Chain A
Amino acid sequence: MNVDTREMNGWVVVTLAGEVDLQHSPTVRKHLMELMFERRDVAVDLSGVVYIDSSGIASLVEAYQMARKGGNKLVLAPISQSAMRVLQLARLDKVFAIADSLDAAMAG
Chain B
Amino acid sequence: MTLPALDRLFPARPERLCDIRHAVAETASHLGCSDETVQDVVLAVDEACQNIIRHAYGGAPGDIVVQLGRDDHRLVVRLIDFAPPVDVAKVCPRPLDELRPGGLGTHFIREVMDEVDFVTPPAGAGNMLQMVKRIEEP
Contacts and interface: CB of A to CB of B under 8 A. Distances in A.
Contacts of A107: none
Given A21-B46, A54-B102, 9 more contacts: A21-B18, A22-B53, A23-B14, A53-B50, A54-B47, A54-B104, A55-B50, A86-B43, A89-B112
Contacts of B43: 53, 86
B105 interface: yes
Interface string B80-105: 00000000000000001001111011
A61 B101 CA distance: 5
B68 to A, nearest CB: 18
B51 to A, nearest CB: 10
Interface residues of B, number: 23
Contact of A21 (B17, B104, B111, B112): B17
Interface string A36-78: 0000000000000001011101110110010000000000000
20 contacts: A19-B18, A21-B14, A21-B17, A22-B17, A23-B17, A51-B21, A53-B43, A53-B47, A53-B50, A53-B108, A54-B47, A54-B102, A55-B50, A59-B101, A61-B100, A65-B99, A65-B101, A89-B107, A89-B112, A90-B104
